[in-house]
Structure 1
Amino acid sequence: MSPQSVPVSRPARKLRAGITNHAATVEAAQRLRYRVFSEEYGSDLGAVIPGIDADSFDRHCDHLVVTDEITGELVATTRVLHQHRAQDAGGFYSEGEFNLDMIKQLAGNVAELGRTCVHPDYRNGATITLLWASLAEYLVRHDVEYLMGCASISMADGGLKAWNIARYLQREFMAEDAFRVTPMRELPHLAHPTHVEKPVDVPALIKAYMRLGARVCGEPCWDPEFRCADLLVVLEVSHLASRYSRHFMGQR
């Protein structure tokens, strides 16, 4: 066997998921967010502390994290803002992008998911499954009926891809009128396309949301900080696709 064909063994990984507000762990999550959003994707986060993505919502959120127990490195994170803490936070993060009047009229607890990211070396099914399992535990523990969040699409090409993905998702996964929202800032640069290109290259994270049973709530919004198009999506926890409900949530 030639040296070029010798297989390279990878060290075993032992991942652990949890929900935390511990200051040091939250800071590690903020550093991962900066690495992914700013260094990798070029978002203009306006970081006050170099290398850290932090905002006023963080202290009101519960932070869900996945850690590699072998290395001690935090490798995935997302945060959840429950409606009971949203007032102290000045509202939901997505209220800066969408009119949420219809969402606020829903009967039942609403929570907002945001700042989801995974270390590039850990972007696989095992990591995201652990993150979703931690999220499912949170939803049950805090009696959340509706989970919403912004699903982001790159605008690197000027917006055509974003419009095509948005139109496809609206056609296939549009929510009922009771969940409808309107964007604060329409997408710039391009006129609305009249057709959807096929095949549509939907980002992996949005595909995961749709597989869980999430629905799109309306037109996309332009996010100048992250330089992307955002779609508000909502998941009715009681309608979570059955195979994922069994996998992540088990028996209540």
Structure 2
Amino acid sequence: MFSLRKGRFAARFAEGADDLRAAQRLRALSFRGNADAADSDPFDALCRHVLVEETRTGALVCCFRLMPLKGGAEIGQSYSAQYYELSGLSGFTGPIVEMGRFCLHPDWRDADILRVAWGAMTRYVDEQGVELLFGCSSFKGTEAEDYMDAFALLKDRHLAPKRFLPRIKAPNVFKFAQKLRRRKPDAKRAMLGMPPLLRSYLVMGGWVSDHAVVDRDLNTLHVFTGLEINAIPAARKRLLRGVAG
């Protein structure tokens, strides 16, 4: 992926230790509320890191990391596999990539930031021939009660196909598909509670696990999220490639 610039924002791969530390500091601010710390783990060394910056000031406004895998047989090496039993995806034969640690700077609200991030991802997916994009989509905080309509909507409309459905592995989970099986969601409240990254996955045809993992370390609830590239609606692909082009 070459650098991608649209309007006020530009995306590029991190180059060197300083760029990686900047991404880790933004992650710490976003996930832990600590601007003076760094969020890091062993997976950083295995990934390419993407930075989205405001072009005038150079401010880092968004970042995420990409871990390419040859196919489902390697999915056990992913970050997500620490929390989800993913044997249902082990037979996926095409190239796959895990997108992780996606975060937006809390002081920046411009919708173009997300558009540029997805444009950069689209260019990467096209150039690498990726067939499945996956990762963990996080809700802020660990109280499931704050997101009941969002979880009910996921249960009703966006569960993974049975052949791919992740099974429980983490010790602390919220089984929303089971617990909310009779709840009908308020669609407006559901979308207001849905994280921006997850909303983007869903409008492209993405699907999720039937349970959320309670991650007290990062103070989040997260669901496994998958997106089969061939299933993205044609009109949505055109929009994404319009940004990526």
TM-score interval, smaller chain: 0.7 to 0.9
Residue 179 of structure 1 deviates from its aligned partner by 1.4
Structure-2 change in CA distance of 1:155 and 1:36 (3 Å): closer
In percent, how many aligned pairs have the same letter? 24
AA partner of residue 104 (structure 2): V
Could you tell me which of 148, 151, 163 is aligned with 1:178?
163
Residue 86 of structure 1 deviates from its aligned partner by 10
CA contact (8 A) 2:71 2:93 kept: no
Aligned residues between the structures: 231
CA contact (8 A) 2:132 2:226 kept: yes
Q: Distance in 1 between matches of 2:69 and 2:126?
A: 15
Q: Distance in 2 between matches of 1:107 and 1:38?
A: 36
Residue 120 of structure 1 deviates from its aligned partner by 2.3
Could you tell me which of 156, 160, 168 is aligned with 2:153?
168
Q: Distance in 2 between matches of 1:113 and 1:92?
A: 10
Q: Distance in 2 between matches of 1:181 and 1:88?
A: 15
Residue 93 of structure 2 aligns to a residue in which SS? coil
Q: Which runs of 5+ in 1 are unaligned?
A: 1-12, 43-49
Residue 122 of structure 1 aligns to a residue in which SS? coil
Could you tell me which of 50, 66, 69 is aligned with 1:64?
50
Deviations 1:92-116 (A, max 9, x none): 0011110011112112111111111
**Does 2:9 align with 1:15?**
yes
Structure-2 change in CA distance of 1:86 and 1:18 (3 Å): farther
For 2:222, the equivalent position in structure 1 comes to: 230
Deviations 1:28-62 (A, max 9, x none): 1111111111117x9xxxxxxx5111110111111
**Does 2:231 align with 1:239?**
yes
Q: Which runs of 5+ in 2 are unaligned?
A: 1-6
Point out the structure with max Rg over C-alpha.
1
Q: Distance in 2 between matches of 1:21 and 1:239?
A: 33
For 1:10, the equivalent position in structure 2 comes to: none
For 1:45, the equivalent position in structure 2 comes to: none
CA contact (8 A) 1:60 1:86 kept: no
Q: Distance in 1 between matches of 2:231 and 2:26?
A: 32
**Does 2:45 align with 1:51?**
no
For 2:26, the equivalent position in structure 1 comes to: 32
Q: Distance in 2 between matches of 1:62 and 1:142?
A: 13
Q: TM-score normalised to the size of structure 2?
A: 0.83
CA contact (8 A) 1:175 1:215 kept: yes
AA partner of residue 71 (structure 1): T
CA contact (8 A) 2:70 2:94 kept: no
**Does 2:183 align with 1:195?**
yes
Q: Distance in 2 between matches of 1:89 and 1:38?
A: 27
Residue 203 of structure 2 aligns to a residue in which SS? helix
Aligned-pair RMSD on alpha carbons?
Answer: 3.0
Q: Distance in 2 between matches of 1:181 and 1:22?
A: 35
AA partner of residue 169 (structure 2): M
Q: Distance in 2 between matches of 1:233 and 1:189?
A: 15
Residue 177 of structure 1 aligns to a residue in which SS? coil
Residue 70 of structure 1 aligns to a residue in which SS? coil
Q: Distance in 2 between matches of 1:162 and 1:245?
A: 29
Residue 178 of structure 1 aligns to a residue in which SS? coil
Taking the TM superposition and a 5 Å limit, the aligned residue runs for 1:54-203 are: 54-84=40-70, 91-156=77-142, 158-185=143-170, 186-187=172-173, 192-193=179-180, 194-198=182-186, 199-200=189-190, 201-203=193-195
AA partner of residue 27 (structure 1): R
